[in-house]
Structure 1
Amino acid sequence: MQQILSQISLSGHDLTTMGLDLFLGLFILVLMRWAYSLWVRIDFREELARKDNFALGISIAGALLSIAMLITAVVSSFTMMAYQQMAIKLISYGLVGILLIKVGRVAHDRLVLSRFNKHDQIMQGNISIAFVDAAGAIAMALIVSSVLRWTRSIDINGLIAIASGFVVALTMILLTTRAVEHHYAANNQNDDMQDALVRGQFALAVRHAGQILGVSIAVSAGEHIIQYQPQAYVNNLLSWLLVATVLTITSVVLTLIAKRIVLFGINLVREVDHQHNVGIASIEMILSIGMAMLLRGVVSV
């Protein structure tokens, strides 16, 4: 037993730091839940427990996971700081993360999925809309977290870099969504993909969620390619846009090849768009995410 314990390299300081991080992380998640209820002005118990609004639960789950990812990135950036300084930084960036989630959701609603009222759809129980909404929140958190790890600093320059990554995330999600909408219209007699989501086409939502998450994972690999220059604000933003574009295109191409191989002989338009085959859509989602993870793994070597 003594030999086993000797292999575990955890000091009292390490355990205290871990405990503080976990406590503050839980505190920020609770704060996120409280802030969310203020934003949407709803009674959580009424909607989730009594009305069984699954769509709202999915949307909230996406928001909570996104803020948890941001907190994780923050914690990993300053584990060697003093307790007080660590607590201040974690809470500060937690609040910044909550603000980014709010801004991201508003921007996503106004720019990306702008042809319907997302809040109304979720409150009406539209699971398809909620699924895409949750994926969008997680996607932006993935990219912002990667930018935070890339900066390795908690200062004004780091905040500007995070904002740049946030802009890149929205841009890539917007472009991806518009390309998918164009493809959907071309194969469905000019039907609107957003209208299909409003009608509750869950298979389409599953596939699109995978596309958004795949793009975000691929773009997040930019942290391993781009050299961080604290005060080169414009160059940092343009570098992320350039690298994000290349990585997005590469990820999409890899996904298309994977679908051709894995789903050989299956008419994806008929199965997903027309027959609402959630099983096929789930495979498409996993292939989008899997190819992006493969690309990120190759880039990070």
Structure 2
Amino acid sequence: MMNDIGISQELAIILVIDLAIAMLLLTLMRYIQGWWGRVNTTHELAEKDNFAFGISTAGAVLALAIVLTGAITGEAAESYLMEAIGMTAYGGFGLILIKLGRWLHDKVALNQIDKPTLIVEGNMAVAVVDASVAIATAIIIRANLLWAEGLSINTFIAIFSGFLVAQFMLLVMTRLREYLYQRRNPNGGLQVALAQGQLAIAIRHGGYLVALALTFKSASYFIVFDEFAYLTNIVGWLIYSVVMLFVLSILLMIAKRLVLANVNLTREVDQQQNVGVATIEMCISIGIALILTSLMA
């Protein structure tokens, strides 16, 4: 009986440690948002009522929460100090990777627009894509955290390797969506449409990004973690990612033709900015990705 009470107290203390660190990191994320955009978060959210900045910040906070679920999943550490160190290390590393992923997406994937400036100006479409990128990046980081084991430099290298591969695939997805959009709309481009504030297009595109990220979760079922196999880890993630992108694209094409039969998606979303239809497309994308991931498990 006394042993059970001791174990319960120990678990309760570990829970408090994890929650305290999580709260601190979530708070820090809000102020990093302001620092990143070189604005005062209180002014943007409460005085200027910048909805776009609010959506962007909400995406960042939710993204960090998703990463933290990967950091706290598993057995408790050997001591309270190690638990605090592990939670802080994984959470801090995840926060850095979220910001790095958004920066890479800004500079490489959405290289034709100034995303931070547009968000400060109140562009809702760009904010939705920004939040989607943060959430997609967080889902990928969480998958890597659950896949990796230990708390060593090699572990973080393995996590970072999977992260880089996933960012590359998000770039590929963006370029693919740009190509398809250009074919349907010869006089405009995807990034131009986002800069113009076309919310329906942003919702649909965000759905594709999150859906692709969700498929990375099942990679851990097939790729055996080896902290010293640097090249094998990268190649494994890359091969699996390419296969999943192909499979996901085929399934989404079929699902949307069935669920949205007799609906001209080009006219409704691209031309008429039908947010309702775009939201259905987003939910189909995420739904198919969740089903695919569950089947892989």
Same fold (TM over 0.5): yes
Task: Give the structure 1 partner of residue 112 of structure 2.
Answer: 115
Corresponding residue number in structure 1 for 2:36? 39
Alpha carbons 2:98, 2:134 under 8 Å: kept? yes
Residue in structure 1 matched with residue 3 of structure 2 by the alignment: none
Q: CA deviation at 1:296?
A: 0.4
Is 2:75 aligned against 1:83?
no
- Aligned pairs for 1:183-202 (under 5 A) are 183-202=180-199
Q: Does 1:29 align with 2:26?
A: yes
Which residue of structure 2 lines up, in the alignment, with residue 281 of structure 1?
Answer: 278
Poorly superposed stretches of 4+, deviation over 4 Å: none
| Whole-angstrom CA distance in 2 between matches of 1:70 and 1:108 | 18
Q: Match for residue 169 of structure 1?
A: 166
Match of 1:254 in 2: 251
Task: Answer yes or no: is 1:153 the counterpart of 2:153.
Answer: no
Once the two structures are superposed, residues 31-53 of structure 1 have per-residue CA deviations (whole angstroms, 9 ceiling, x without a partner) of: 22233322222111111111110
Q: Note the 1:284-295 alignment, pairs <5 A.
A: 284-295=281-292
Counterpart of 1:125 in 2: which secondary structure? coil
Does the CA-based 8 Å contact 2:115-2:126 persist in structure 1?
yes
Q: Secondary structure at the match of 1:159?
A: helix
1:106-158: CA deviation from partner (whole Å, max 9, x where unpaired): 11111011101001100000000000011011111111110110112221111
* Alignment partner, residue 4 of structure 2: none
Please say which of residues 25-34 and 104-113 is displaced more in the overlay.
25-34
2:132–2:206 contact (8 Å) kept in structure 1: yes
Q: Which runs of 5+ in 1 are unaligned?
A: 1-9
Give, as a single letter, the amino acid of the residue that structure 2 aligns with 1:290: G
* Aligned length, in residue pairs: 291
- Equivalent in the alignment of 1:70: 67
Using the TM superposition, give the Cα deviation of residue 190 of structure 1 relative to its aligned residue in structure 2, in angstroms: 4.2
Q: Is the 8 A contact 2:30 2:41 kept in 1?
A: no
Deviations 1:82-124 (A, max 9, x none): 1111101111222212221221121111101110100110000
- Asked if the contact 1:132/1:208 (under 8 Å) is kept, the reply is yes
Q: Which runs of 5+ in 2 are unaligned?
A: 1-6
- Structure-1 separation of matches of 2:255 and 2:78: 44
TM-score normalised by the chain length of structure 2: 0.95
- The code of the aligned residue for 2:217 comes to S
In structure 2, what is the equivalent of residue 93 of structure 1? Answer: 90
**1:4 equivalent in structure 2:** none
Deviations 1:155-176 (A, max 9, x none): 1111011111211121111000
8 A Cα contact 1:148 1:158, kept in partner: no
In the TM superposition, residue 212 of structure 1 has moved relative to its aligned partner by 0.4
Secondary structure of the corresponding residue to residue 72 of structure 2: helix
| Aligned-residue RMSD, C-alpha | 1.3
User: Is contact 1:139-1:169 (8 Å) kept?
Assistant: no
Q: Structure 1 residue 11: deviation in Å?
A: 2.0
SS at match of 1:11: helix
How far off its partner does 1:78 sit?
4.6
Q: Structure 1 length normalisation: TM-score?
A: 0.93
Determine the structure 1 residue equivalent to 2:58.
Answer: 61
